[in-house]
Structure 1
Amino acid sequence: MEGDCEFCRIAAGERSAHVLYEDDRTVAFLDENPAMTGHSLVIPRTHEEDVLTIDEPTSTAVFETVRTVSNALEAALEPSGFSVFHTSGPLVGTVDHAHVHLVPRFADDDVALSLPRDRLEADEATRLRNRVRATL
């Protein structure tokens, strides 16, 4: 457990949460400040800072739990769909424990997860593709 990490305390059973699902690698619980009914968080039990840098077995377990919980939420709430996302880095959040948001969506909800969009030009796409491929 990492210092005063509230998600580590939830994973250890030392802090209350409305747990929906748990296994040996993950815990899924209702968000205390939901954007929508059923808004849930899926976390690894171990303290990791970013979903994108955790080891493969843990990453796989996190996303298997996302699938398991989304299926249960689908049956319980009958949403129109889901928004599933994770954020990382100091600019996007206040919790340093890796987590995935699972937000049931409904046709009449007012959840806004939109991003400003621009057109990807072919030459820019080619340059970016080449830079990324060079690092793989």
Structure 2
Amino acid sequence: MDEADGADQAACIFCAIAGGGTAAHRVFEDATAVAFLDARPLFPGHVLVVPRRHAETLTDLSADEVGPFFTRVQRIAGAVERGTGAAGSFVAANNRVSQSVPHFHVHVVPRNRKDGLRGFFWPRGRYASDEEAEEVAARVRAALEGG
């Protein structure tokens, strides 16, 4: 970790929560992850799951960290549903864009039918043609092969 990374981590509210220096309504913690109620929930029981180690984005987690972290997310999603009596849950993460805190976090939001949220929270569209869709798919495949 270089000096800039240390400064980012020192100013990170989620690192402060994970380290115990800032209060939060924790629902889970272990060496891998910390989960706590979102301070501005979509619905009661909206939980944020963060890796204990500071990582700004999903791609900053090592391959060895991803599986254990998402095993915790899976467990917490079930607990949120059972604990709130929800019919299901929405599990999502932003990666840089719209990420209000630059520490990777997964939202686990309890959901019920007719709760006011409609699918994804943004407008969706279609590709103009199968050719356009194939061109986009080819770019993603090429990026996978190169990285």
Shift of 1:114: 2.6
Shift of 1:79: 0.9
Aligned-residue CA RMSD (Å):
1.6
Q: Would you tell me which structure has more helix in proportion to its own residues?
A: 2
- TM-score of the superposition, structure 1-length normalised? 0.90
1:132 is matched with 140
Pair 1:34 & 2:41 matched:
yes
Stretch moving more, 34-43 or 65-74: 65-74
Matches within 5 A, 1:88-99: 88-89=95-96, 91-99=97-105
Match of 1:66 among 62, 66, 73: 73
Q: Distance in 2 between matches of 1:14 and 1:31?
A: 17
User: What residue ranges of structure 1 are gaps of 5+ in the alignment?
Assistant: none
Q: Distance in 2 between matches of 1:126 and 1:36?
A: 38
1:104 is matched with 110
- TM-score of the superposition, structure 2-length normalised? 0.84
Secondary structure in 2 aligned to 1:125? helix
Q: Distance in 1 between matches of 2:65 and 2:77?
A: 18
Secondary structure in 1 aligned to 2:123? coil
Q: Distance in 1 between matches of 2:94 and 2:60?
A: 12
Q: Distance in 2 between matches of 1:9 and 1:106?
A: 32
After TM superposition, the runs of 4+ consecutive aligned structure 1 residues lying more than 6 A away are: none
Secondary structure in 1 aligned to 2:136? helix
User: What residue ranges of structure 2 are gaps of 5+ in the alignment?
Assistant: 1-5
State percent identity of aligned pairs: 36
Secondary structure in 2 aligned to 1:34? coil
Q: Distance in 2 between matches of 1:108 and 1:130?
A: 38
Secondary structure in 2 aligned to 1:60? helix
Q: Which amino acid aligns with 2:38?
A: D
